[in-house]
Amino acid sequence: MLVEQFKHGLNAPICLTWEWTYACNLACAHCLSSSGRRDPMELSTDEIKSVIDELQRMQVFYINVGGGEPTVRADFWELLDYAIAHQVGVKFSTNGLRITPERARQLAATDYVDVQISLDGATREVNDAVRGPGSYDMAIRAMENLAEAGFENFKISVVMTRQNVSQLDDFAAIADRYGAQLRITRLRPSGRGADVWDELHPTAEQQLELYDWLVGHGERVLTGDSFFHLNALGSEPIPGLNLCGAGRVVCLIDPVGDVYACPFAIHDAFKAGNVRSPGGFAEVWQSSSLFQELRGEQTGGACRSCSAYDVCQGGCMAAKFFTGLPLDGPDPECVKGHGATALAAVDRAALPPQGTDHSHKGPVRSQPVSLGMPALKVSRPDRFCDESPLAGMEAR
């Protein structure tokens, strides 16, 4: 299986997420990058272009651009064109803010670009509780504009929470309505996601519901590497990338140029370097000691004796790290229940702090008001390896 080749890393990433700004018009409760305010040290237009040149030389054929809300950068459309002209295809994640009818037509007419609209509830009520008032309507308007412009197969990206697992069929129907493809991802305790993870991560019964749904519908639904920890639930593996690719095939470049092993691991422990340093991104990818270490043999620790280890691999490194669990032990959502047991023994006061915080400081117009939860802190979520990095891939 390819997983074996991937474990030792590739010459260049195949699942590169690049956040172009920490600025965001929203304040989603579970934002993985704690976005809100622009960072004064963000990469300039020219710096971004020179990293794109480098990616072209490394043959990174496409990137997942996110933020923050990437389209709030005044140079967003210029950078998009630049990347495409340099054989670096772009999928960008957006809350829909700037997807006007004109922009939708422009995007529909552009090759090598894909758009991913974030939506975390199939109803206004469920979505806006996490993403803030007005965010559902904004996302739907963007979808209407894309569909109207003839943009086929854009992505709708949903972070699965306790409140929306029951809406899976409704999400699929929304995707069908707009000729889009559904992508669902896991809520990870990263960024502001750590503050809401306890209340929002799906229950054990919901994990099973999700697994069953994916086994039935998985071929049409993108999941990236979100749910391989659920493979331990049955004999049928979920389509998608079934290993933690952090530092091996996955990485993040953040808005100030720091390179992390994974978009869900913004913390010094997973920082490999900065694109501004001599040698640039290529040097960081190829030689950083952190990435070398991640590409070495992993021990598996307490999971080694588990019958499901081959398909589950102990789950998500970031989820373990931010919930205070050992990296070589079970995932906090281990379907055999070992995560829950381990979590109970964790000293909550000693959890690792999140790496950077660009959250809005004051109230925001679109402040989410949680459903039956204590008022949440505020900004926006997901984006990750756009589709499965292996979508449509043939293993030869």
The whole-angstrom separation of Cα 1 and Cα 6 is 9
Provide, rounded to whole angstroms, the least separation between the CB of residue 387 and other proteins.
Answer: 9
DSSP 63: E
CB 348 within 8 A of CB 324: yes
Count residues near other proteins (CB under 8 A). 20
Dist CA 93 CA 88 (whole Å): 16
338/253 Cα distance (integer angstroms): 33
Phi first, then psi, for residue 366 (nearest 5°) are: -100, 40
The answer to the question of residue 303 lying near ligand SF4 (CB under 6 A) is: yes
Is residue 214 within 8 Å of 221, Cβ to Cβ?
Answer: yes
Binder of residue 115, out of ligand SF4, other proteins, none (CB less than 5 to 8 A by kind): none
Q: Which one of the spans 27-35, 276-284, 313-321, 361-369 is the region binding ligand SF4 (CB under 6 A)?
A: 313-321
* Cα 359 off chain centre by: 18
With contacts defined by CB under 6 A, name the span among 121-129, 137-145, 195-203, 244-252 that binds ligand SF4. 244-252
| CA distance linking residue 357 with residue 360, whole number of Å | 9
By CB under 6 A, tell whether 96 contacts ligand SF4.
Answer: no
Return the beta strands (E) in 87-170 as ranges. 89-94, 113-118, 155-160
Stretch that binds ligand SF4, among 4-12, 154-162, 290-298, 331-339 (CB under 6 A): 331-339
CB burial of residue 33 (10 Å; 0-12, 13-18, 19+): buried
230 is a site residue for ligand SF4 (CB under 6 A)? no
Give the nearer residue to other proteins in terms of CB position, either 348 or 396. 396
Among other proteins, ligand SF4, none, the one that 390 touches (CB under a kind-dependent 5 to 8 A) is other proteins
Q: Is 359 exposed, middle or buried, given 0-12, 13-18 or 19+ CB atoms closer than 10 A? A: buried
Alpha-carbon gap, residue 142 to 119, rounded angstroms: 11
Q: How far is the CB of 8 from other proteins (least distance, A)?
A: 7
Q: Is residue 166 a contact residue for other proteins (CB under 8 A)?
A: no
In the region spanning residues 2 to 41, those forming contacts with other proteins, defined by CB under 8 A, are 2, 5, 8, 10-12, 14
Window 350-379: residues binding other proteins (CB under 8 A): none
* Interface positions, 57-86, toward other proteins (CB under 8 A): 59, 61-62
- Positions 82 through 121 that interact with other proteins (CB under 8 A): 87, 89, 112
Choose among 114, 43, 112, 38: nearest CA to 82: 112
264 binds, among ligand SF4, other proteins, none (CB under 5 to 8 A by kind): ligand SF4
Q: Tokens 């040290």, residue?
A: 41
Question: With binding defined as CB under 8 A, does residue 287 bind other proteins?
Answer: no
What is the contact surface with ligand SF4 in residues (CB under 6 A)? Answer: 225, 229, 232, 244-246, 250, 262, 264-265, 303, 306, 308-309, 312, 314-318, 330-331, 334-336, 338
What is the contact surface with other proteins in residues (CB under 8 A)? Answer: 2, 5, 8, 10-12, 14, 59, 61-62, 87, 89, 112, 389-390, 392-396
